[in-house]
Structure 1
Amino acid sequence: MPSHLCHLAHLQLLNLALNQISRSIPKFLNNITALTQKLSSSTTITHVYIEILGMTLYSIIYDDQALWTWKGSEHEYKNILGLLKSIDLSSNKLTGTIPQEIIELVELISLNLSRNHLFGQIVSNIGALQFLDFLDLSKNQLSGRIPFSLSHIDRLSVLDLSNNNLSGKIPTSPQLDTFNASSYEGNPNLCGAPLPKKCLGEGIAQNPAMNRRREHASMQDKKEGFISLEFYVSLALRFIAGFWGFVGTLLLNMSLRVAYFRFLNNFKDRFYVAIEVNMARFHCVGPLCFHCVKVV
């Protein structure tokens, strides 16, 4: 690609697609003033005339117009031709990296570098191209992460980064979320919506409130489990201490043991007598009832 093209300061439409152009993209694209500075739109009606000695020999009036492939179809631009600023270098044999100077082309509306052999990373501050409506970097060998600054381009309506070697999580924004998986497919190490491949730990990042509740519930379960275990251990120790404290005292103290068993015998006799009296009262009938109770 000849570098002297970069000296065409008023160049707005550069289309070298479907050729055999090789080597790298020139770094001096920022010399094209029409793509780097906000200029007034070109006049759509132009007067061309030749005047000699006060006499007009030739005069013509024409309208600016051009046929331009835009978003996959060809359109004729006329009245707004001055606003259309585009670079299309697709379907060539370009190699090397995307030059950093390309971010100075702030007036670009369309940039198509697809179907080449470009490698390296996408320019990190590509978000500086705020007027970009069409961006196609597909079918290259680009690697690294998708720059987060890409999410700052609010006007972007067509995006194709497919079939590269991009990796990491796809940035999210109200604008980028409108693109489907076809814009990113063909990058094996790329993850996140809208691709079906989820990033590691994406579930935690997507719903932090839910995960906090789950962590709290898990800690609560562990706490409750610890209290229950402590309760049962304490209960067992109390039972053992009480049982052996009582039985050990009886085994070691003879008089206390005799008194205890005498108490049990007396309690057993009284309990038996009480049961018999109650049974007799229940079965006595008529005039013999008082006598029966008295005898017992």
Structure 2
Amino acid sequence: MEKLDSLDLSHNRLSGKIPVSLTKIYTLGVLDLSNNKLSGKIPTSTQLQSFNASAYDGNDGLCGNPLPMCIEDSLRPSTTNPVENMNENDVSMFSFMQEVGISMGFWGVIGSFILKKSWRIAFFNLFDVAGDWFYVSIAVFVSKCRRS
């Protein structure tokens, strides 16, 4: 079965969990397990989770990617967004620290321009050169379009 390309087991009254051995069929291009009585979490594999949710339709007990999360997964704290796992004081402190970091970066740049005249001149010269390049590029493009 390791070279199986298509597997359609829909409308067969199959029950229980999806066998983990299905994750070992790497050549599987089409899968349809819809309209059975399957339950449990879809085995974690990029192969089985890459199929459309329609491949698992009609199995009210199934959960996991690409279907909605399983209950036990939704009870587990999220690790993707650290702000979600914080209480109100932690969130305000996190926000405050972000604001401090942003303001330090802002004043670090602005302060260096205020204190170092050579940096300020170089910075604005860069904008002059970029503006000139942009103007010339647009002028060349417009003239080419007019010739066509």
Under a length normalisation based on structure 2, what TM-score does the superposition of the two structures give?
Answer: 0.51
- 1:140 aligns to what SS in structure 2? coil
Structure-1 residue corresponding to 2:73: 202
1:60-104 C-alpha deviation (Å, 9 max, x unpaired): xxxxxxxxxxxxxxxxxxxxxxxxxxxxxxxxxxxxxxxxxxxxx
TM-superposed deviation, 1:205: 5.5
Aligned residues: 90
Higher RCO (Cα < 8 Å, 6 or more apart): 2
Amino acid at match of 2:22: L
Task: Write out aligned runs for 1:53-202 (5 A).
Answer: 129-195=1-67, 197-202=68-73
TM-score, normalised by the number of residues in structure 1 = 0.27
Partner SS, residue 28 of structure 2: coil
Pair 1:144–1:203, CA change in 2 (3 A): same
Deviation at 1:172, TM superposition (A): 2.8
Name stretches of at least 5 consecutive residues in structure 1 with no aligned partner: 1-128, 222-296
One-letter amino acid matched to 1:193: N
**Rg larger in structure:** 1
More strand, by proportion: 1
Tell me what 1:289 maps to: none
How big is the shift at 1:204?
5.5
How large is the Cα RMSD of the aligned pairs?
2.7
1:218 corresponding residue in structure 2: 87
Gaps (5+ residues) in structure 2?
A: 91-148
**Equivalents in 2 of 1:181, 1:190: separation in Å?**
11
C-alpha deviation, 1:201, in angstroms: 3.2
CA distance in 1, matches of 2:49, 2:84: 28
Q: Deviation string for 1:231-252 (max 9, x for gaps)?
A: xxxxxxxxxxxxxxxxxxxxxx
Query: Contact 1:204–1:211 (CA<8 Å) still a contact in 2?
Result: no
| 3-state SS of paired residue (1:150) | helix
Q: Identity percentage over the alignment?
A: 52
Tell me the SS of whatever aligns to 1:208: coil
